[in-house]
Structure 1
Amino acid sequence: MKQALENIRILDLSRVYAAPAGSMILADLGADVIRIESPEGTDSMRDWGPFVKGESAYYFSANRNKRSITINLKSASGKALLLDLVKKSDVVIENFKTGTMKKLGIDYDILKSVKKEIILCSVTGYGQTGPYSKEPGFDPVIQALSGLMDVTGHPENEPTKVGIPIADILTSKYVAISIMAAIRMRDANGVGQHIDLSLLDVQISSMANISSGYLNADMVSKRMGNQHNNVVPYQVFQCADQPLMLCVGNDRLFRSLCLLFNHSEWGTEERFATNDSRLQNKEILVEKITLIMKSKSADDWLKLFSNFQIPAGKVNTIEQAMEHPQVLARETVEYLHHPKMGEVKMTKSPLRHSGLNIMSKSSPPLLGEHTHEILTGELGISQAEYNDLKRDGII
């Protein structure tokens, strides 16, 4: 079975998470993604633990299904090698600070002079324009600036970042989407383009109901802990043994909850009958539900909630999440062979298509693992030339 992007080649000059995770999505779909790294190994993710046999598990999370070559892009010979690869490629991805590609002599104008159909995807913290365009952008800073931290955490505590690099993760999805859209357009009109992706743009656009509430109703949301700004009851409750997330998203579900709690009268009582009225009387209702929830274990409640089709789930650790029967049934974890570590485990692509073979071909590459293979086998460089490039620190 063919893969969706098997005839697409991507040169990935990016580092850390957002852009590499985006190119990994495309690699999962069959694209030939070639990571171009410095001979000194300047992707700081390779230096972040935990480590297994000297290799970074963090790096693994964004780099399966790729090949890696090393090129010193600051040298004329290195730049020439890159441009030779551009001639045989469809897309270049980079996440240098704004202006760095121009300083290196490999900006979009140069790339399209070598191949007019080339697509360049630039990922930065703030974009290619605006007063902050040349500032470095890091995920926690973007979370702070975007307003995300101000609505995350408990109201009595300080603003809190999300437990994963959410701005990077969201941006990685737009990396894949924007590149596939650009490929589609290129196939239609034969013209490439420069994609300008900003972590701040992505995070602002991802504020969803928070931003819409402010822009249209002048509502400034505040931190609500594990509660919801606009829906009640919709929060974590402590059971007899552990916490459980309960999401009663509409009035029909609330009436089902009332029946389950043996308090059917709540469903018609003026102060609780509608979500608006529950919002007005949230403290009273939450106090009542809290007392009831403590009377049974989480597993006991989950069985009851399932019978009534009320959405709920235990607050799992990552260990418990990986052992959840649904996660196991979906075979979410895959096993890949690594040249140094042997077998490695990764969470595989969540994409499931009936007519596409979305598969992992290879584990995350060692630094420069495929340099010889690509330069001699695909660019036709002789062994003598390769040895000279190696000796001079170009590769």
Structure 2
Amino acid sequence: MPTENNNPPLQGLKVVDLTRVLAGPLCTQILGDFGADIIKVEPPSGDQSRGSGPPFHDGSSSMFYGLNRNKRSIVIDLNSDEGKSQIRQLIRTADVLVHNFKPGTMERWGLSFDDLKEQQSRLIMVAISGFGTDGPLGGTPGYDGSAGAWTGVISANGDQHSGPMRIGLSVVDVSTGLHAAIGVLLALKALERDGVGQYIDMSLYDCAFPLLHPHAANWLYSNVETARSGNQHPTFTPMGVYDTSDDPIYLAVSTDRNFHKLCEILDISHVLEDERFTCMANRAKNRSALIDIINSKLKQEKSEELALKLNKADIPAGAVLSVAQALSHPHAEHRQMVVSVHDQKLLGIPIKLSRTPGRISRLPPNIDADRADILAEMGS
């Protein structure tokens, strides 16, 4: 286990968080997990995700609860002159400002990067939008699904019978939140070197494209689109979700060596002599025939038992668990991916630094809970 250091890596960093819903709050929560002081500025009605339930916890939705720990909350009405003045006061001592308003909104309020950098030349501003400020789609309202639609992410999901399918998780939002946090760290490194801040233009649209692997590379190099493959991998076979006698199992057999091991464990070594399956390219061409053979054997196995047996043979495999099963699994507990803070269970921190690990010191705040302290620090 790592030895905790009293000085987290982002201690002393002050972040003004004007974001709501998912991508922006995830970005700032990551920074807060590693010591940054996150001041969550909310409108009088609160972050709209506070009402995105059920379920609810202490009056706010579980969605809000999962993305806003390690933050302090203050209500500021940016439609008022007083609110705009308070933001400028906050910026005087802040290092980073993150917002995800529609392009043009901050400019209309007189709070653009050019406006604010005049009083704080070291300021780093992150602007998260759906599609950026210009171009054919610039300024278009953006949500995870719409960005996924425009970028091919939804088209790549599903199979030949289902057609394009929405992914069951907000992967574009999460990708954007992660890329935005990386952008802040890069800008901080440049600030350390050059002494001036900068503007970071983040869009859901841009951050969806890195999810298109290997589909994007396949098309860019061959001009041929990868067919939708559903629960199967478009290249490797057998790689995908298969039924067993109880629950599904995921197999990831990406090498000839592992295919030989799989055949031995499933007692189908005769398959190795069949020319249709002697190499990866042949197995891909004859996928249906191979899957029929494998399925007949897998239906005699139990998912978790077989997955562990395959893992011991260095074959990547996993029992397909429900969310409840996954969060309750002993390995999730061992990896501290579900933690208890003040008797409340939260997801843990995936970034495991050995010397300066992250920590969860604050539960998500009630709306305006830290107003007095923040105003006092501003000298108001």
TM-score range, shorter chain: over 0.9
Aligned residue among 31, 44, 51 for 1:47: 51
Q: Does 2:80 correspond to 1:75?
A: yes
More displaced, 166-175 or 50-59?
50-59
The 3-state SS of whatever aligns with 1:123 is: strand
Aligned residue among 92, 103, 116 for 2:121: 116
Q: Does 2:353 correspond to 1:353?
A: yes
Map 1:226-237 to 2 at 5 A: 226-237=231-242
Q: Which residue of 1 aligns with 2:378?
A: 379
Q: Which residue of 1 aligns with 2:202?
A: 197
More displaced, 302-311 or 191-200?
302-311
What is the CA-CA distance between 1:52 and the residue it aligns to?
2.5
Aligned residue among 311, 318, 330 for 1:313: 318
Aligned residue among 90, 101, 105 for 1:100: 105
Rounded Cα–Cα distance in structure 2 between residues aligned with 1:44 and 1:211: 34
* Structure 2 residues not aligned, in runs of 5+: none
The 3-state SS of whatever aligns with 1:114 is: coil
More displaced, 173-182 or 143-152?
143-152
Q: Which residue of 1 aligns with 2:63?
A: 58
State the AA in 2 paired with 1:260.
I
Q: Which residue of 2 aligns with 1:388?
A: none
What is the CA-CA distance between 1:131 and the residue it aligns to?
2.1
Q: Which runs of 4+ in 1 moved over 6 A?
A: none
Aligned residue among 167, 170, 173 for 1:165: 170
CA 1:81–1:299: 2 relative to 1, 3 Å:
closer
State the AA in 2 paired with 1:195.
I
Aligned residue among 325, 333, 336 for 2:338: 333
- CA RMSD of superposed structures (Å): 1.2
Q: Which residue of 1 aligns with 2:281?
A: 276
Question: For the Cα contact (< 8 Å) 1:150–1:222, is it kept in 2?
Answer: no
Q: Which residue of 2 aligns with 1:218?
A: 223
Q: Does 2:186 correspond to 1:187?
A: no
What is the CA-CA distance between 1:269 and the residue it aligns to?
3.1
Rounded Cα–Cα distance in structure 2 between residues aligned with 1:182 and 1:299: 45
Question: For the Cα contact (< 8 Å) 2:57–2:65, is it kept in 1?
Answer: no
What is the CA-CA distance between 1:154 and the residue it aligns to?
2.8
State the Cα deviation string for residues 245-264 of structure 1 (Å, max 9, x = none). Answer: 11101111001112222232
Rounded Cα–Cα distance in structure 2 between residues aligned with 1:306 and 1:82: 54
Q: Does 2:242 correspond to 1:243?
A: no
State the AA in 2 paired with 1:48.
S
Rounded Cα–Cα distance in structure 2 between residues aligned with 1:154 and 1:297: 26
The 3-state SS of whatever aligns with 1:374 is: helix
State the AA in 1 paired with 2:158.
G
Question: For the Cα contact (< 8 Å) 1:123–1:199, is it kept in 2?
Answer: yes
User: Scaled by the length of structure 2, what TM-score is found?
Assistant: 0.96
What is the CA-CA distance between 1:134 and the residue it aligns to?
1.2
Rounded Cα–Cα distance in structure 2 between residues aligned with 1:210 and 1:36: 39
State the AA in 1 paired with 2:226.
S
What is the CA-CA distance between 1:302 and the residue it aligns to?
2.4
State the AA in 2 paired with 1:319.
A
What is the CA-CA distance between 1:268 and the residue it aligns to?
4.2
What is the CA-CA distance between 1:301 and the residue it aligns to?
1.7
State the AA in 2 paired with 1:108.
F
State the Cα deviation string for residues 57-113 of structure 1 (Å, max 9, x = none). Answer: 110111100001111112122111111110100000011001000001100011101
Q: Which residue of 1 aligns with 2:38?
A: 33
User: Scaled by the length of structure 1, what TM-score is found?
Assistant: 0.92
Q: What percentage of residue pairs aligned between the two structures are identical?
A: 33
State the AA in 1 paired with 2:207.
V
Rounded Cα–Cα distance in structure 2 between residues aligned with 1:255 and 1:299: 21
Q: Which residue of 1 aligns with 2:365?
A: 365
CA 1:280–1:302: 2 relative to 1, 3 Å:
same
Question: For the Cα contact (< 8 Å) 2:9–2:35, is it kept in 1?
Answer: yes
Aligned residue among 11, 20, 26 for 2:16: 11
* Structure 1 residues not aligned, in runs of 5+: 338-342, 382-395
Question: For the Cα contact (< 8 Å) 2:40–2:71, is it kept in 1?
Answer: yes
State the AA in 2 paired with 1:220.
E
Figure out how many residues of one structure are paired with residues of the other and give that number.
374
Rounded Cα–Cα distance in structure 2 between residues aligned with 1:214 and 1:266: 32
Q: Does 2:294 correspond to 1:295?
A: no
